[in-house]
Amino acid sequence: MRTAADAPAADAPASHAPASHAPPTGNAGAAGPGAAAARRPAAPTGPFEIRMLGQVVRSAIPAESRQALVVTGNSPASSEATAVLYTRDDPTVGWQPVAGPWPAHNALYGWTDEHYVNDLRTPIGVYGLTAAGGRLEAPGTELPYVQSPAFTASGQGFDGESLEGSFDYVIAIDYNRVPGASPLDPTRPLGEERGGGIWLHVDHGGPTQGCVSIPEDRMEELLRILDPAKVPVIVMGDVAALAR
Mean pLDDT of 127-152: 97
Largest CA-CA distance found in the chain, in angstroms, rounded: 86
> Is residue 21 a part of any domain in this protein?
no
Structure confidence by residue, pLDDT tens digits, 81-109: 999 999 999 888 999 999 999 999 999 99
> Is residue 61 a part of any domain in this protein?
yes
Cβ atoms of residues 85 and 69 within 8 Å: yes
pTM assigned to the model: 0.81
Structure confidence by residue, pLDDT tens digits, 219-239: 999 999 999 999 999 999 999
* Whole-number Å distance between alpha carbons of 204 and 175: 22
Annotated catalytic, 211?
Answer: yes
Counting the structural domains of the chain, the total is: 1
Banded pLDDT at 209 (limits 50, 70, 90):
very high
SS3 (DSSP) at 221: helix
Structure confidence by residue, pLDDT tens digits, 28-75: 444 444 444 445 544 444 578 998 999 999 999 999 999 999 999 999
> Is residue 24 a part of any domain in this protein?
no
Mean pLDDT of 170-190: 98
| Run of H or E including 219 | helix 216-225
> Is residue 215 a part of any domain in this protein?
yes
Q: Report DSSP state, residue 244.
A: -
CATH number at residue 114: 2.40.440.10
* Whole-number Å distance between alpha carbons of 49 and 35: 32
SS3 (DSSP) at 22: coil
| Run of H or E including 38 | helix 33-39
Mean pLDDT of 10-31: 38
- Listed in sequence order, the residues at least 6 apart from 177 whose beta carbon sits closer than 8 Å to its beta carbon are 185, 187, 188, 189, 196, 198
> Is residue 150 a part of any domain in this protein?
yes
Which among 105, 115, 204, 211 is annotated as catalytic? 211
> Is residue 27 a part of any domain in this protein?
no
b/e sequence 14-45, b meaning 16+ C-beta within 10 Å: eeeeeeeeeeeeeeeeeeeeebeebeeeeeee
Give how far the C-alpha of residue 222 lies from the chain's centroid of Cα atoms, to the nearest Å: 12
| Run of H or E including 57 | helix 55-60
Instruction: Name the percent of the chain lying above pLDDT 70.
Output: 81
Residue 4, CB-side half-sphere exposure with 13 Å CA sphere: 12
- Domain of 151 in residue numbering reads as 55-242
* Whole-number Å distance between alpha carbons of 101 and 89: 20
Annotated catalytic, 115?
Answer: no
In this predicted structure, the answer to whether residue 196 has a pLDDT above a threshold of 70 is: yes
In this predicted structure, the answer to whether residue 165 has a pLDDT above a threshold of 50 is: yes
Which among 105, 115, 201, 204 is annotated as catalytic? 201
Residue 54, CB-side half-sphere exposure with 13 Å CA sphere: 10
